A = this chain, B = another copy of it.
């Protein structure tokens, strides 16, 4: 199946936002066996939309287009498609009811123009939108209308929280009904933390050639402090190839692998903590709440996460966690003794089974020759075990610093949790 993705949005062309749909949709489509051959972004104007649609329908059997279905004057997709296909726009009663229900549930007055979103080209399949007002549309286009083949055209809303569930619940089932994906596509990603990309590739690359000869595709994706190893293969031998390749990766990288596919370090930590009936507390200085935020991004975190402190200045480190002010005078707030005292204070105040503490210099200001920007100390305290602290140097911009530092803290906790027997 030849697949093309079209993203509309003038703000994309102005470079004011990142096109997150491209990665999200390409990934889900690839995982379902529909590899996108071409992705196109165009501005919100009728001639660009018309041109891109004609072009895509000429050579693709499956065309997905995002955006331009809303109620405002720059939402033109609905009209352009109806005109291009020579179909009337008619009101869909279910779509209208959904729009009216959306506003009444929120006790907000409904501007009458939002009802334009209930107008759909005759013959289109209406895909209900459970997080918004604009329904998606699926339209079958007969052969020889644009290209030699028939095509399916999917028009999908732009907001991710409307698009994502609609794609999973409505689009994928229709795709599986109307297309027999040529060959099954299999893909798995093993995720590691704390290794460099060339180190990983040097360890693994010599072992893959026999599997690559049989159709394995290997990709490495590196971020700061993290390397993903992506394994992919097509056809019936795919699962076996992936299993053999994953065994190789596991045998060489072992404990550095924290998870697979959509696992995050925080989701793995919450899972391990739940299995071991742990209770977690965190005390953050330079990461400013990011560690707590990541842990509480995981549904079910409340079962194991007691809470935490953002102790951004020395006074709060003392008043909330009981850090002796002498520590600041003797060692400074960015020091191993301070990290240890913060972790122990957090453990004592919370009654948790594990307390993580972070203190460091995020920058851009605040560095000294002895403690340059990027210096960080992470400590982990647990009842009955000596509190440990580790020093890291993360000389990155502010947001990368915060992210990498929380990765290191989560990894420290993950290894401790793994070492403990599950309850």
Contact = CB atoms under 8 A, between A and B. Distances in A.
Interface of A: 10-20, 22-30, 35-44, 48, 52, 70-74, 106, 108, 111, 113-114, 131, 159, 161, 187, 189, 196-199, 201-202, 205, 217, 219-224, 228, 230, 232, 282, 284, 287-293, 295-297, 299-302, 305-313, 315-316, 319-320, 349-350, 362-366, 393, 396-400, 402
Nearest to A298: B398
A285 to B, nearest CB: 8
- Nearest 3 CB-CB pairs, A to B? A288-B296, A15-B27, A289-B292
Nearest to A296: B288
Contacts of A108: 196
Mostly, the A contact residues are mixed
Most B CB within 10 A of own CB, among A14, A18, A196? A14
Nearest to A24: B15
Contacts of A363: 299
A12 B27 CA distance: 9
A307 B316 contact: yes
25 contacts: A14-B27, A14-B30, A14-B219, A14-B232, A15-B25, A16-B23, A16-B27, A16-B219, A16-B221, A19-B23, A37-B48, A44-B219, A73-B201, A74-B219, A289-B296, A292-B292, A292-B293, A292-B310, A299-B364, A302-B313, A305-B312, A306-B313, A307-B311, A307-B312, A308-B310
A310 B297 contact: no
Contacts of A402: 293, 296-297
A11 B293 CA distance: 27
A306 B318 CA distance: 12
A241 to B, nearest CB: 16
Given A37-B43, A197-B70, A230 B14 contact: yes
Given A289-B293, A307-B312, A307-B313, A13 B41 contact: no
Contacts of A222: 70, 159
B26 A73 contact: no
A161 B189 CA distance: 23
Contacts of A187: 14
B291 A230 contact: no
Nearest to A70: B197
Contacts of A74: 219-220
Contact of A350 (B38, B316, B400): B316
A15 B22 contact: yes
A41 B41 CA distance: 9
